[in-house]
Copies of this chain bind each other. A is one copy, B any other.
């Protein structure tokens, strides 16, 4: 129920500010006996990491994860798994003296809390997403039957050939939005729940909670709203979920990332991605993995192993 936690049976909590000493995540409720090493998590963090091409932020973070608890002799013990990532290239001074930045959460944090950590967005920074990716790597181990894969479907409205447009935007001190599409194949029919914990509702929340995401759709999504019933009857258009419960077909969702407002054109300093959607794909995958791991355990709890066969 805490606002910085996510999940029910398989649950994670994240902490840490962009320019504090470290960020981290606690994964609770993980099944015992799973093989888990720091390397299993590191490989996913490396995919998300900034500084790996000219098209993402030049902040240089090695993003080395350490496992501080919950694993003994290479196996999960069933107790909380504490993951920590040191902030190495934090430059809090870059943000000294700058006021609330347009398009950021700075003013909203001030309105809520009466004060804020001004250093690089603090808790609202995209840096927090490294904790999600780390926790998501653990979640993947819980659902080996599922293959999750996200890709950039559009950048700045282009479905392909967008590299040039993005390079141009970057060189002009601007940024572009993007649409990420994620497919989860192998989800057994029956995972999910009716009414308020619907699988699609929880995926929507999970993905909408990623910084810069402004829209989520499942299956045919907004296009379905423009169709007649008989044109929308193909089960594939359901996106793998009906009534909040997985059908056994691949689950398909799309997330709309807005262009970052941290751009020269808006007079905002610091180091930023010209298209946060690029790194967002790894985060979408992680959030989908976290939701599915939780629903696998929730389903097994209520209904037993029986119906998963």
CA gap between A261 and B68 in the complex, in Å: 28
- For the complex formed by this chain, how many copies does it contain in all? 4
B residues within 8 A CB of A55?
none
B28/A224 in contact, CB under 8 A: no
- Is A242 part of the contact surface with B, judged by Cβ < 8 Å? yes
- Is A202 part of the contact surface with B, judged by Cβ < 8 Å? yes
- Is A151 part of the contact surface with B, judged by Cβ < 8 Å? no
B residues within 8 A CB of A211?
243
Dominant SS among interface residues on chain A? mixed
- Is A90 part of the contact surface with B, judged by Cβ < 8 Å? no
* Residues A220-243 near B (CB distance < 8 A): 220-222, 224-233, 235, 237-239, 241-243
B258/A9 in contact, CB under 8 A: no
Q: A109-B243, A214-B219 are in contact. List 7 more A-B contacts (CB 8 A).
A: A3-B195, A4-B197, A107-B242, A111-B247, A154-B226, A215-B222, A237-B258
A residues at B contact (CB < 8 Å): 1-11, 13-17, 20-24, 26, 28-33, 68-70, 72, 75, 77-82, 102-105, 107-109, 111-117, 119, 121-124, 128, 154, 156-157, 169, 174-179, 188-198, 200-209, 211, 214-222, 224-233, 235, 237-239, 241-248, 256-261, 263, 265-266, 277, 297-307
